[in-house]
Chains A and B, each alone.
Chain A
Amino acid sequence: MTTVDGRHEIDREAERLAYKPPEVRHDKQGDMGSEERINKAMHHFVKNFNSQTASYLDGCLHCGMCADACHFHVRTDDPRYTPIWKIELFKRTYKRQVGPFAFFYRLFGLKRQVTIEDLEEWQHLLYDSCTVCGRCSLVCPMGIDIAGLVSMARHGMFKAGLIPHELHEVAKRAAETGSPLGITPDKFEDRLEWMADEHDVEIPLNVEQADVLAVMSSIEIQKYPESMAATAKILNAAGESWTFRTDGFEATNFGMLSGNPEWQKEATMKLIDAAIKIGAKLVVLPECGHAYMAMRWMGANMYGKPLPFKVMHISEYMADALNTGKIKVKKLDKSLTYHDPCQVSRRGGATQAARDVIKHLGVDFREMEFGGDYNWCCGGGGGVVTITRADPLRHRVFKLKMDQVEATEADELVSSCANCRQSFDDSQQHFGWDYTMGSLMEMVAENLEERKS
């Protein structure tokens, strides 16, 4: 008779019935003792505390409803993926060290001190199984922004050298070379030239004075280079005085995703400096969700004062240009559904922009059930797509997205985030799925009507 090892659950979703391998990888960076890691994790979590986060940590009712909003929990039924549980260690430390009744908690030993083993386990919960998509923040009856707390907990984890190696490597490369994929200014220039030739489009680079600074994400430069040509076509068609710059082109921010505020600030300041140098009135961000969060909502705070220019996501720019007649597009005869990037729509507030653009395209728009602000995340945001050990979990979670898309029966699927697109492409390959994720911006660029000058 076979004895079943009950410690490891059977993975019924796998192509072949299999035991789920135990999660044993606990990555560590740097040379620190356990005590030092614990102290650093907690110190850097607590460091940026304000009354907002304190009320959040104090306010949780343990109702567990956030579990029902989280794709990782919904798809696995693993209670550890309950969003508020992901910050449990930090909640505990807050109550022990900082909260209004910290003295009592310590005096009576009411909250157990966090151990290194705890933190190692939480690495999986804070990185592999959270895309910071913020869906949980919308279900919480207390209105706690759990996703925001996860980002803060990541600050602590980064400083303690307790983040997944892959994400650390990518973030480090971004800090050292200016791009998470190692795109140097020369390479960027090469690829721009290639796209300019290929599409016969003028792509201004390093113009000294321009009204608009356009920036890109490395994922686009490397994997979806057509995005560069599409950006150029749209900005040219709108008659903008604009430019790309080799001294400030990378919009992704892996400092933010990995949890290192210093790297986050460096990346943000590069773009701000470039924009100020050319006297830009507007910075147009690429199809990238977290780039929008990093610059539109956090950029000025990194700068320490209001930005001397406006910041727009490309979908907002296109919506504005179409609404004001700066650009025009041909009507398309097909049905289309749209995947909302969490950081642009749900957390960024630009949900309507893509819909305005889609309206101008004249397609039969099929909104996903509970799309828009309540959209299921692609599963790859928040840096998760870079963490290869999380792939099986990410694919499993993606099933929700597949169902949501398929239910629309739309001819085509587009989004406005290269990171989502990458995550879709990977899962498409994994599942042999019919839908290919497209780019809303490329769709607009391909269907621009000639300007009558």
Chain B
Amino acid sequence: MDLLEFARGPALQVAAYILVAGTIWRLVGIILLKEKPEFSEPRARGGLGAALKVIYTRSFTADPFKPATLYPKILAYVMHIGLFMVVFLFVPHIMFFEGFLGFDWPGLPNSIIFFGGVAAIVSGFALLVRRLTHPVLRLISNFDDYFSWFITMLPLATGLLIPVRLGVRYETLLAIHIITVAALLIWLPFGKLGHTFLVFVTRGTTGMVFERRGAKT
């Protein structure tokens, strides 16, 4: 078995198992905690509708907070949109997903994907600089923040290097890229990258609690 076979085979497979098992474990660990009954008379409807509402609305910043949070918000948006484009709209990736999903969807031209990848990396670096220099972020950051940043940037960087080659064999570069993706998938459920799925839980919970009070969400 060569490196590429290892990356495409056992590495990705094990990573996928860990991703699924870790995500389930983390969510179950939270959901299984006892829930206190709520007896207060609701002012408005809570429930799933309220959860969905806040999952959507909290994607946008309320006016009073816009000036102070504009810069990091733009960076975060660019990074997330760039990542999304690269992961889900790059034609070779779509073919990979088709391999086990059985269906495909239209992709974007490689030049646009390349632009998205570069934008994601640039904004990622800007966010890192901010984390290293902003007094608040310096204080509250920990290992998880830096490691999660690193493990997210790695597949982006290795992916962007594939067309550049730098004298290295295509197969080797591809294998390295896939292994970094496997590393990302393995880490995802454990650290702050868990916000990929936790964001629905936290926003949804707040929606249900505060919407039924008729309070601002």
Contacts and interface: CB of A to CB of B under 8 A. Distances in A.
Given A82-B140, A141-B58, A55 B30 contact: yes
Contacts of A59: 194-195, 198-199, 201-202
Contacts of B41: 300, 306-307, 310-311
Contacts of B134: 64
Contacts of B192: 60-62
B111 interface: no
B190 A62 contact: no
Contacts of A307: 39-41
B33 A54 contact: yes
Contact of A56 (B68, B135, B202): B202
Interface in A57-105: 58-65, 67-69, 73, 77, 79-80, 82, 84-85, 88, 99-101, 104
A303 to B, nearest CB: 7
B72 A63 contact: yes
A452 interface: no
A250 interface: no
* Residue among B34, B40, B135, B215 with max Cβ neighbours from chain A (10 Å): B215
Contacts, number: 175
A143 interface: yes
B214 A349 contact: yes
Contacts of B40: 296-301, 306-307
Interface in A3-59: 48-52, 54-56, 58-59
B102 interface: no
A319 interface: no
A82 B194 contact: no
A62 B142 contact: yes
- How many interface residues does chain A have, given as a range? 35 or more
A424 interface: no
B136 interface: yes
A346 B209 contact: no
* Residue among B28, B34, B69, B141 with max Cβ neighbours from chain A (10 Å): B69
Contacts of B43: 349
A104 B207 CA distance: 31
A343 to B, nearest CB: 10
Interface stretch (B59-67, B116-124, B158-166): B59-67
A296 B40 CA distance: 7
B140 A64 contact: yes
A110 B26 contact: no
Interface string A308-349: 001100000000000000000000000000000000011111
A235 B33 CA distance: 45
Interface string A355-396: 000000000000000100110000000000000000000000
Contact of A58 (B32, B68, B76, B198): B198
Given A58-B26, A110-B143, A307-B41, A50 B65 contact: no
Contact of A50 (B34, B59, B63, B207): B34
Contacts of B97: none
Nearest to B216: A373
Given A142-B195, A348-B215, A349-B213, A65 B29 contact: no
Interface string B18-56: 000000011011111111111111011000000000100
B202 A144 contact: yes
21 contacts: A50-B35, A51-B30, A52-B35, A58-B26, A59-B194, A62-B144, A63-B72, A63-B76, A67-B136, A82-B136, A100-B28, A138-B65, A141-B58, A142-B195, A145-B206, A297-B40, A301-B36, A304-B39, A306-B41, A349-B213, A374-B216
By Cβ-Cβ distance, the 4 closest A-B pairs, closest first, are A100-B29, A349-B214, A300-B39, A143-B203
